[in-house]
Amino acid sequence: MFRKSYSSALILAALAAAGIAQAQSYPVKPINIIVPAGTGGPDTVARLVAAQLTQQMGQSVIVSNRPGANGLLGSDAVAKAPPDGYTLMVYSSGLVVNKYLVKKMPYDTEKDFTPITNLVISGGLFITVNPALPVKTLAELIALGRKPDNKLSYSTPGVGNTWHIATELMNERSGMKMVHIPYKGGGPATAALMAGEVQVLLSSPAPVLQHIKSGKVRALAYTAPTRSASLPDVPTTAEAGLPIFQIDGGWFGMFGPGAMPSAIVDRLFRETRAAMNEPQTLARIKALGVDPVGDTPAEFRRFYDNEIRKYGEYVKIARIEPE
């Protein structure tokens, strides 16, 4: 018994030493960060962090967009990649929502990804409209959206993402009826609003902030309990007359494939947090209207598991059926 336990201990010690050695030499080739969406949103934050990681780690950190199937194509590529730290993912809360919207998932949402760190969170979503729409307040939008013959439609980065669920919750809690038009990413969804293809968009700050300030879109309300520091003149939904509708703006986190060596996970976490704290990178992230996080892998795992449960409840309330 003693010899068997001793042998097992030696094996574990050898594996641990190998993992540490691997992390010390890592990376020896370029790192690919997959964003399972188009431009805008997680893509913007991923590119800021990747540029600084490239300087810190001595290897190119490349961001590649792989939209499609509401994020499933890019996510599945990461889930099935070798867990060696060379294929990573930056994605939003859309990752956890697919579990409830897709009947035949190509991967296990809980087991096939390794949470590394939560990059940023958005305090809330801006309820925005095309300036040509004859409404100046949330109350006016709701009154228009309640009319049986209204022609209102709204854009999102795809079926089942945070923006989609939030808008369906607003429909349900305000009595509005708006038609969903999905696009491939936050950038295209915002462009559709500005072009007048749709009239309404609920968006996290990053894709719309500059367009609100330039007057290309009009912000009616903010879905957080307090006003956004980036746009303090925009009222909260409670102030605008819809106190029963409050929802956070989601998050953008970094993941790897499941079963990544803990030493490499820890190295990536430390490098990523350092990259986000670099003054210029930090300033650019804050300019997007989001709040940097940089929590530990263990903290992010707990957060991630809670988000899976939370969005399951949201999907039920929003009455979005799996396909």
Neighbouring CB atoms inside 10 A of 298's CB total: 10
In sequence order, which residues have a C-beta less than 8 Å from that of residue 107 and are 6 or more positions away? Answer: 75, 76, 79, 80, 113
Q: pTM to 2 decimals?
A: 0.80
Q: What is the pLDDT of residue 41?
A: 78
**Which stretches in the chain have pLDDT values below 50?**
2, 8-17
**Of 205, 209, 211, 153, nearest to 182 (Cα)?**
153
Residue with tokens 């109350």: 139
Token readout for 12 is 């574990």
Q: What is the pLDDT of residue 20?
A: 55
12: left (phi over 0), alpha (psi -120 to 50) or beta: alpha
In sequence order, which residues have a C-beta less than 8 Å from that of residue 84 and are 6 or more positions away? Answer: 260, 264
Rounded Cα–Cα distance for residues 210 and 256 (Å)? 31
Q: What is the pLDDT of residue 216?
A: 97
Give the neighbor-by-neighbor strand order of the sheet with 153-156.
179-182, 153-156, 200-203, 126-129, 218-222
Phi, psi of 78 (to 5 degrees): -75, -45
Task: Report pLDDT digits (tens) over 99-141.
Answer: 998 889 999 999 999 999 999 998 899 999 999 999 999 999 9
Q: What is the pLDDT of residue 3?
A: 52
Nearest 5 degrees, angle CA 145-CA 192-CA 232?
70
